Amino acid sequence: MNEKKPTLQEVFENYKLMTPLECFENLGWEYVRRQDDSGWDDIRCCDEPVESFGFFGTESLRCTKCGKGMQLMTAPIPTSNCTSGMISYEKVEMPTDGGYGHLIISGV
Ligand SMILES: [Zn+2]
């Protein structure tokens, strides 16, 4: 059996999956790249720090002023105020480029 699994992008065909950097640029967010390249700090939108949420860490980011945000699709995805869903790693071909899979939840 060598069934071809759908890719994460195919599962979320109505969204454009991006790396975090591509998201920041598409959202017009400002950020400070860490010296050691391990991530980003001081992410800002509308001259305010962007709020972060997550069950295990920072999994979604949202500007409380304009509502623009992004969600890490390889982490639990909020489905309501108190529940979340999770991609089945067995059924979906996950991105290999660093495990990314962010998407913009509300628009530019
Ligand atoms: Zn904003």
Domain-located, residue 72: yes
Distance 16 CA to ligand 1 centre (A): 19
Residue span of the structural domain in which 34 resides: 8-106
Determine the distance separating the centroid of ligand 1 and the alpha carbon of 66, expressed in angstroms.
4
> CB neighbours (10 Å) of residue 100?
19
pLDDT at 11 over 50: yes
Report which DSSP code applies to 82. Answer: S
For residue 70, being part of any structural domain is answered with yes
Angstrom distance (rounded) from CA 96 to CA 94:
6
Percent of the chain with pLDDT over 90: 20
**Is 2 part of a structural domain of the chain?**
no
- % of the chain beyond a pLDDT of 70: 86
- Domain assignment of residue 99, yes or no: yes
Whole-model pTM? 0.75
Residue 20 lies in a domain: yes
Average pLDDT, the chain: 82
Q: Domains in the chain: how many in total?
A: 1
**pLDDT(50) > 90:** yes
